[in-house]
Structure 1
Amino acid sequence: MFGISDLIALVISAFIILPVVLFIREFGYLSVTLLFGVKNPRITVGSGPRIFKFWIFDIRKYYHLYSWFSFDDIKRKSNFSYIMIYAAPILTNIIVALALNTLIANGFLQDQLRFWDRFIFYVFFYVLFDAVPMLVTNGKPNNGMIIYELIRYGKRVDYNKDDIIPSTTQVDEEYEEEMKKIEKMHEEIEHLKADNDEEPTPEPQVVGNEIHEDFKETAETEAKEELAKEQKENEKKEGT
């Protein structure tokens, strides 16, 4: 039965464990790419408007589960270097999980055992979907599939040619375009608000008076037409 304790565990998993595990995964990319002379590395945490950018970290405003690593180029290019780059998040998560498991097995972290068991579970969750070769969104290969292709064919052979690790320069350009769209949208909203303020809505009493005057004018017009009609008929009778 799903209870309060399970709900609390779910919240902790969604807002603490998963973002931290994902950050460790992205940090794995960084640790290996630095060995091969990476150019312009960046770890982006979250999405949407930027809160601040410090060194290689780009912190965004919205939900921090969405994070990714990017770089422009590496100096020492080879199949081995790319295999190591794509294997880096898998190996990093495995090392973290085994280290935590070793500490627990030796009597450490016992006071927060449930938390760390859940942490290790999600670490291996990401390892599973990174390591087992498969195609994911829009036929894009995961890290395991790319490693398999590089080992077997010496290159990527899938039909989706999008970069698995995006370019930092491209990420910055897309961010600037996104911010311009958001700024334009805000300007349009403010413009609509200003237009509405310039045309105040009539008070209910004023509207009621206008309707009453319309009815009064209509009634007077109809009465005058009826009177004129009767006069014409009387004139015709007198003429005959």
Structure 2
Amino acid sequence: MFGLLDFLRLAMSVFIILPIVSLIREMGYLIAGKIFGVKEATITIGSGPYFFKFWIFEVRRFYFMYSWCHYDSLERDTKIAHIFIYSSPILANLFVALVINGLLANDLLAHETFWNQFVFYAFYFLLFDAIPMYYPDGQPSNGRVVYDLIRYGKRSDFTRNDPQIDTKPEEEE
């Protein structure tokens, strides 16, 4: 039976755990990108209308849904660089999930329910990031981009063109 405690766990997962796991994923892109000379990187957390920006982080009104890392240029723009950059969010979530899982296995973390859910969502993101597929909107998964780079030597890509995603306050335009 789905009770009040289950609803609170779900709310915690959606509003706390998912955004943090998503941020870890995007930090994977950023760290790998910095290694290869990314210029003007921005990490967007959420979707919908623009909410606020702090340093390189842009937060959208629905902060718990979607995220992406954007950069203007790459100093060392090679196939290997792109393979590493597109693999990095998978590796970032894998690393964090394995570390937390190891800490849980050795009874070094309190609040086991929270951390179990955290590890679950980290592996959830990892799984859907690693499978080489196209999402229903036509966007390739990172696994698909890496697969295409290795197999065909070219990057499959997708450009977001959603008017609601690009909405910013009028004073900033």
The question of a shared fold, defined as TM-score above 0.5 by the shorter chain, is answered with yes
How many Å apart are 1:135 and its aligned residue? 1.2
Aligned-partner Cα distance in 2 for 1:118–1:133: 25
How many Å apart are 1:139 and its aligned residue? 2.9
Aligned-partner Cα distance in 2 for 1:25–1:144: 14
Alignment of 1:82-97 (within 5 A): 82-97=82-97
How many Å apart are 1:55 and its aligned residue? 2.2
Uncovered stretches (5+) of structure 1, i.e. residues with no partner:
181-240
Establish whether residue 162 from structure 1 lines up as the match of residue 158 from structure 2.
yes
Whichever residue aligns with residue 12 of structure 1, its letter is: M
Identity of aligned residues (%): 47
* 2:137 alignment partner, SS class: helix
Q: Which residue pairs with 2:116 in the alignment?
A: 117
How many Å apart are 1:125 and its aligned residue? 0.3
Q: Which residue pairs with 1:46 in the alignment?
A: 46
Using CA pairs below 8 Å that are at least 6 residues apart, which structure has the higher relative contact order?
A: 2
* 1:138 alignment partner, SS class: coil
How many Å apart are 1:47 and its aligned residue? 3.7
Runs of 4+ with >2 A deviation: 45-55, 137-140
Q: Which residue pairs with 1:29 in the alignment?
A: 29
Whichever residue aligns with residue 122 of structure 2, its letter is: V
Name the stretch that deviates more: 134-143 or 116-125: 134-143
Aligned-partner Cα distance in 1 for 2:140–2:52: 32
Q: What TM-score does the superposition give when structure 1 sets the normalisation length?
A: 0.64
* 2:76 alignment partner, SS class: coil
Q: Which residue pairs with 1:148 in the alignment?
A: 147
Q: Which residue pairs with 1:13 in the alignment?
A: 13
Query: Greater strand share, 1 or 2?
Result: 2
Q: Deviations over 1:36-79 (max 9, x none)?
A: 0001100122344544323212233x121132210011010111
Q: Deviations over 1:156-211 (max 9, x none)?
A: 3x5xx534xx7xxx99xx746x545xxxxxxxxxxxxxxxxxxxxxxxxxxxxxxx
Aligned-partner Cα distance in 1 for 2:53–2:113: 34
Uncovered stretches (5+) of structure 2, i.e. residues with no partner:
none
Alignment of 1:176-191 (within 5 A): 179-180=169-170
What is the aligned residue count?
Answer: 168
Aligned-partner Cα distance in 1 for 2:36–2:88: 12
Query: Greater helix share, 1 or 2?
Result: 1
How many Å apart are 1:141 and its aligned residue? 1.5
* 1:139 alignment partner, SS class: coil
Distance change >3 Å, CA 31–CA 8, structure 1 → 2:
same
How many Å apart are 1:7 and its aligned residue? 1.0
Higher Cα radius of gyration: 1
Aligned-partner Cα distance in 2 for 1:16–1:100: 16
Q: Deviations over 1:64-111 (max 9, x none)?
A: 1132210011010111000011001000000000000111112211x3
Whichever residue aligns with residue 29 of structure 1, its letter is: Y
